[in-house]
Structure formats: structure tokens, C-alpha cells
């Protein structure tokens, strides 16, 4: 019983860690330097900020959807494995 809870926690914790790593990583250096353009006027800067925020939101939504699919798949596999293990234990 304790092993099953430990394994479930290990798998779910790994998935959450994976999602957090994806969300925390920043592969696009251009996003980090968008504010360094000193020649831009305030109107352009506002539009850049708004576009940056929109793009960031879209990335988070896409990543969350992908993560949800991964979690659902992992949980269904875990459930199947647990049921098979219980059936093996009941048969023996």
C-alpha cells in the first residue's frame, strides 16, 4: 500500500517538476531584450509590451494544454498498471 502511494507521488511530482521547468525556461533571448530598444517612442514600447504579454499568455496556455494531456496519459497508464498489479496479487 505504501509503495503504491510513494510511486504515485513520485510520478505526479515528476510531472509537476517537468511542467514547472518548461514554464520557467526561456529559450528566446529576444524576449529578454525587448526593452533594450532605446530608440523606440513610448507608443511603440506600449505596443511591444502588449504584444509580449499576449505572446507569453499564448505560450502558457499552449504549454498548460500539452501538460494536461501528458498528465492525463500518465495517470491512465498508472491506473492501468495499478489494476494489473492488484490483479496479479489477487491471483497469487
First to last CA, the chain: 17
Cell numbers given for 91: 491471483
Taking 80 as the threshold, does the pLDDT of residue 26 lie above it?
no
Cα separation, 92 vs 71, in Å, equals 31
For position 21, what pLDDT does the model report? Answer: 75
Q: What is the pTM of this model?
A: 0.45
Cell numbers given for 83: 489494476
Residue 38: phi and psi, rounded to 5, are: -80, -10
For position 12, what pLDDT does the model report? Answer: 83
Amino acid at each position: 500500500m505504501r509503495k503504491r502511494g510513494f510511486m504515485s507521488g513520485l510520478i505526479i511530482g515528476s510531472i509537476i517538476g517537468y511542467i514547472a521547468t518548461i514554464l520557467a525556461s526561456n529559450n528566446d533571448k529576444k524576449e529578454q531584450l525587448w526593452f533594450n530598444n532605446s530608440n523606440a517612442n513610448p507608443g511603440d514600447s506600449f505596443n511591444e509590451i502588449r504584444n509580449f504579454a499576449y505572446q507569453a499568455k499564448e505560450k502558457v496556455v499552449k504549454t498548460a494544454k500539452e501538460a494536461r494531456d501528458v498528465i492525463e496519459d500518465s495517470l491512465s497508464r498508472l491506473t492501468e498498471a495499478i489494476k494489473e498489479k492488484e490483479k496479479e496479487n489477487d491471483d497469487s
